[in-house]
Amino acid sequence: MAQKTLTDVGNEQGESAGKREADRIKSKAHEMAQKQQEISVAAFFEKNRHLLGFDNKRKALLTTVKEAVDNSLDACEEAGILPEIHVEMIQMDEERFRIIVEDNGPGIVKNQIPKVFGKLLYGSKFFTLRQSRGQQGIGISAAVMYAQLTTGRPAKITSKIHPNEPAHYYELHINTQKNMPEIVKEESKEWAKEHGTRVELDLEAIYQKGSQSVDQYLKQTAIVNPHVTLVYTNPKAEQIIFARATDSLPQQPKEIKPHPYGVELGMFINMLKMTQYRTLQQFLCSDFSRVGPGTAKEICQHASVLPSTPPKDISREMAERLTKAIKVTKIIAPATDCVVPISEMLLEKGLKKEINAEFYTAVSRPPEVYRGNPFVIECALAYGGEQSAEESVTIYRFANRVPLLYQQSACATYKAIIDTNWRSYGLSQSASSLPIGPVTVAIHMASVWVPFTSESKEAIAHYPEIIKEIKLALQECGRRLYSYLSKKQRVGYELKKRGYIEKYIPHVAEALKGLLGLKDSDREKIEAALKEILEKTRGEVEDIDFKPEKNVEYDETFAKIGKEEKKESAEGSEDGEGEGI
Amino acid sequence: MKAGQQTKSSKEVADEITSLSKDIYTSILHKKSPSLNIPIRALQNVSYDPKVGYFELIGKEKLRTLTASTVKTFAQTLKMMSLSKELVQQDDIATKREAYYVSKNWGDARFDEQPDSDNVMDDIEAMMMVNREQLGFIPEEKGGDIAGKLIVIDHDRETGKELRIDCTKFGSGAYSVPISVEHLQFETDAEFILAIETAGMFQRLVKHNYWKKANCILVSMGGVPTRACRRFIRRLSEERKIPVYAFVDGDFYGWMNIYRTLKVGSGNAAHINKYFCVPHAKFFGITAQDIVDYKLPTHPLKEVDIKRGKDALKNDPFVQQYKEWQKAINDLMKMGKRAEQQALAAWGLNYVIEKYLPEKLSNPKTWLP
């Protein structure tokens, strides 16, 4: 048996070949393991900046201003301060801008400053449910990071929290690997302001006017935030002041705990980990809204988990059973007083300022709930006047008082508009497209959690409950529009009739003059009397003719802001996607 | 049931116009919406009683108040009254067509079409219960043609001398009924008057001197008889006591629009039917039975004919009075056919003279009331 058969050789060779392959794969795995490391969120977003709204230079400018202004507004309102925000854009080079946003907010405590601006996903809002502009603490640090990536310059932050204390000044970078702030410079300095925050960022950007511009964003912000004063200096060093129209702050939105219906497994497990309560029942009752001991027990029963189980002992499987149990348990809807709408009156007023139309209406829907999150839909509509009748209706979208300028056709509002039958309200509309007519529609969604389709917060996600509410609001506006249009038609008809009657009055008078041999003065008497009779029998006619000067709210200069280059922007792709940086 | 003279003098007419205008004037000065009361001129506002002999108004009125839909007509009515007053006071006349053209001076109140002005004129007539001639308006239409054993006594316009017009002496032509016939006088020994629908049939009978053979007076109505024609036949037949026979097409238009209007007047001019009708006229032919008896060539009834027939059954007080007419209409509807007078020519051109007319004359049972 000394001789190996050919087969054996072949087998041997086969074995050794197989071994070699296995070794190769093993060493490859080691090699790959060396490369595998924690990817910081910052590094991830560096590669996926489009998710945060920095996909092109024009949009980057808007996103940066927007994040800074949104934060300022949130801070002011939370502190009960009437916001006064200065926005300045200085053109440093052809495609390089310095953006300065300064507010009169409460300021930021010294040691928080680096984290707020230099660490992504660091914020105050992620684990609470409260109607606010910002949601998860990404926005402003992403802007800082974008600035750093495109110009290498640090963000310069000044903040002051008390008149008697000095301001703190920081120059910051973000360590994108570690998602940590790197302090370049730090000092105390005098600042004339009593309190507030000032952010200065240098970034690569393109400034353009039009419907998706900073100008448009600030204007629309002013429309839905009448309590805000915005002082805007554009790159041409022209200053525009959007003065506040009211001195009363909107009602402070209440913070609520999450409603069980809106919590998914991952978040549920997270909450179990974080809770301070000792039993499942306590956890359910205290960390969620609308759960009492009875409901908690019912959930536990449905999930076959003891209510006395400590949260830390809940396994993944048990957590899954619990989330399923929540769905089959009847739980009352969340309180809805935590959502603060703009109000029909202010929304309509805002629209009047922007559009000189002949008819305005606004509808605020009662609060509704999607996935356990309360929300309110508001809608305002302006018809006719100086608007073009041949174009698609103009849409203004707002979420928690923030204008949405991009991704219109991906938005739930858009879906709701095209799904509404506008033909029955007197507009023309072809199947699944926007109605055509001299109409502007403004839609606002206020919620403790606005579900956006992406982190860049450009479009509201298509939740059926949300679309339904928007449609109901639109339909109500539509019905009012229709009744206005019918009235207009009736009045028009009546005026025509009156004109007709008045045309023949002189002939009646003339004939009577001839028949009775009357004097001219008698004829005039007859004419006057006939007119009076007519007025008496036909009643007053409401004058609903469009008169441009009738709308006292309308502000022509205001309306023009951000519109100059409308044509140009309409030609480009709708969202400016694909332009790249 | 004497024809009698029409009663209102020019002055009375002018005064009435003035008084109507004054009412309107006063009402306007009192800030009250002025209105005109006008009898409804339609079959729905007439009744028929054979003892009276013609369509009488039953008093339904429309109130022409000053509203958007009536203001134009209101102004036009006043304008027209004004024109009428002028005409009457100046002893002038205007034809209906002329009145229409006068209105072209009225600016926005002018009439667009003559039927509109005719309509307003008829309204004024009805409102004042007078004949339009009394308002100073005369029709354009011819009154009808006459041939046969009749002498019409008229006056020379210039000299006022009596003119004796012998209707036997027009050869192949005929005497034309004037627009106003009140002043005419008649001499005749004819046995009957034959009122004929078509000029064609009239020509045939004249050509063959039928009037001589039958000792009668032939009248060509040329469709629906004009007021003058009706008035002429009425006066002639009543004053000379001669029967009147109507000879028209065998269809609903001939029966109702022509014969019925001749006999009892129309719904549209009900206010003057009293004078413009021939209550004792008899319907001679062509009847539904004639179509069968004489095997006449026919045409199918058109939709408009059927509608006319149904309408007559439903709305015409005259038809509703006579079972004979209801039967006749129903028969014709059942047959679905109509026959013209001249269809008799299918049996020879002079069949009508030699056979049809003599047979009908001698057989009153075939007539209709």
Which chain A residues contact residue B79 at CB under 8 A? 507, 510-511, 514
Which chain A residues contact residue B103 at CB under 8 A? none
Cis check: omega of the bond before A443, within 30 degrees of 0:
no
Q: What is the pLDDT at residue A455?
A: 78
Report whether pLDDT(A37) > 80: no
Cβ(A178)–Cβ(A44) under 8 Å?
no
Q: Higher confidence at residue A36 or residue A368?
A: A368
Asked if the Cβ–Cβ distance from A516 to B29 is below 8 Å, we say no
- Position A571 confidence tier, pLDDT thresholds 50, 70, 90: very low
Which chain A residues contact residue B33 at CB under 8 A? 533, 537
Asked if the Cβ–Cβ distance from B108 to A504 is below 8 Å, we say yes
Report whether pLDDT(A127) > 60: no
Token pair of B166 as six digits: 């012998």
Which chain A residues contact residue B78 at CB under 8 A? 507-508, 511-512, 515
Distance from CA of B120 to the nearest CA of A (A): 15
For chain A, the maximum distance between any two Cα atoms, rounded to a whole number of angstroms, is 153
Cβ(A104)–Cβ(A41) under 8 Å?
no
B127 part of contact set with chain A, CB < 8 Å: no
Task: Tally DSSP H helices, then E strands, for chain A.
Answer: 16, 14
CA nearest A523 in B: which residue?
B25
CA nearest B73 in A: which residue?
A504
Q: Which is nearest to B180 in space by CA: B221, B106, B230, B107?
A: B230
Burial pattern A185-216, b for ≥16 Cβ within 10 A else e, equals: eeeeeebebebbbbbbbbbbbebbbbbbbbbb
pLDDT tens digits for A57-75? 999 999 999 999 999 999 9
pLDDT tens digits for A410-446? 999 999 999 999 999 999 999 889 999 999 999 999 9
For chain B, the maximum distance between any two Cα atoms, rounded to a whole number of angstroms, is 73
Q: Which of B48, B54, B101, B322 is catalytic?
A: B101
Round to whole Å and give the CA distance between B207 and B192. Answer: 19
pLDDT tens digits for A230-263? 999 999 999 999 888 888 898 888 888 888 888 8
Asked if the Cβ–Cβ distance from A530 to B74 is below 8 Å, we say no
Q: Which residues pair with A356 in a beta bridge?
A: none
Q: How far is CA A57 from the centre of its chain?
A: 21
* Of A28-32, A119-123, A481-485, B209-213, minimum mean pLDDT range: A119-123
B275 is catalytic: no
Round to whole Å and give the CA distance between A219 and A345. Answer: 18
Q: What is the pLDDT at residue A564?
A: 56
Distance from CA of B7 to the nearest CA of A (A): 23
Round to whole Å and give the CA distance between A498 and A531. Answer: 10
* Of A354-358, A544-548, B259-263, B273-277, minimum mean pLDDT range: A544-548
Asked if the Cβ–Cβ distance from B25 to A503 is below 8 Å, we say no
What three-state secondary structure class fits A265? Answer: helix
Q: What is the pLDDT at residue B234?
A: 93
Which chain A residues contact residue B70 at CB under 8 A? none
Q: What is the pLDDT at residue A41?
A: 67
Round to whole Å and give the CA distance between B245 and A13. Answer: 136
Round to whole Å and give the CA distance between B29 and A521. Answer: 13
pLDDT above 70 covers a percentage of chain A that reads 89
Token pair of A356 as six digits: 């000189």
Between positions 36 and 75 of B, the ones with CB within 8 A of A are 66-68, 71-72, 74-75
- Position A573 confidence tier, pLDDT thresholds 50, 70, 90: very low
**Distance (Å) of CA A518 to CA A400, A509, A537, B22, B25:** 73, 10, 26, 11, 10
Asked if the Cβ–Cβ distance from B31 to A536 is below 8 Å, we say yes
Q: Which residues pair with B271 in a beta bridge?
A: none
- Position A126 confidence tier, pLDDT thresholds 50, 70, 90: low
Q: What is the mean pLDDT of residues A282-296?
A: 91
Sequential pLDDT tens for chain B (369 residues): 344 445 577 888 889 899 999 999 998 888 888 888 888 888 888 888 888 888 888 878 877 777 777 888 889 999 999 999 999 888 888 989 999 999 999 988 899 999 999 989 988 988 888 888 888 888 877 778 999 999 999 988 888 899 999 999 998 889 999 888 888 999 999 999 999 999 999 999 999 999 999 999 999 998 889 888 999 999 999 999 999 999 999 999 999 999 999 999 888 888 888 888 999 999 988 999 999 999 999 999 999 999 999 999 998 999 999 999 999 999 999 999 999 999 999 998 889 999 999 999 999 999 999
A533 part of contact set with chain B, CB < 8 Å: yes
pLDDT tens digits for A183-222? 999 999 999 999 999 999 999 999 988 888 999 999 999 8
Q: Which of A512, A524, A525, A537 to mutate to test the interface with B (most CBs of B within 10 A)?
A: A512
pLDDT above 90 covers a percentage of chain A that reads 45
Distance from CA of A545 to the nearest CA of B (A): 22
Asked if the Cβ–Cβ distance from A529 to B31 is below 8 Å, we say yes
The minimal CB distance from A537 to the residues B33, B85, B106 is found for B33
Distance from CA of A529 to the nearest CA of B (A): 6
Cβ(A544)–Cβ(A358) under 8 Å?
yes
Q: What is the pLDDT at residue A544?
A: 64
CB pairs under 8 A between A and B: 75
Which value, in Å, is the radius of gyration of the alpha carbons in chain A? 32
Q: Which is nearest to B260 in space by CA: B216, B309, B201, B333?
A: B309
A521 part of contact set with chain B, CB < 8 Å: no
The minimal CB distance from A515 to the residues B76, B85, B107 is found for B85
Q: What's this model's pTM, rounded to 2 decimal places?
A: 0.65
The minimal CB distance from A515 to the residues B17, B32, B107 is found for B17
Round to whole Å and give the CA distance between A8 and A19. Answer: 16
Q: What is the mean pLDDT of residues A314-333?
A: 91
The minimal CB distance from B107 to the residues A507, A532, A533 is found for A507
Distance from CA of B87 to the nearest CA of A (A): 12
Q: Which of A501, A505, A535 to mutate to test the interface with B (most CBs of B within 10 A)?
A: A501
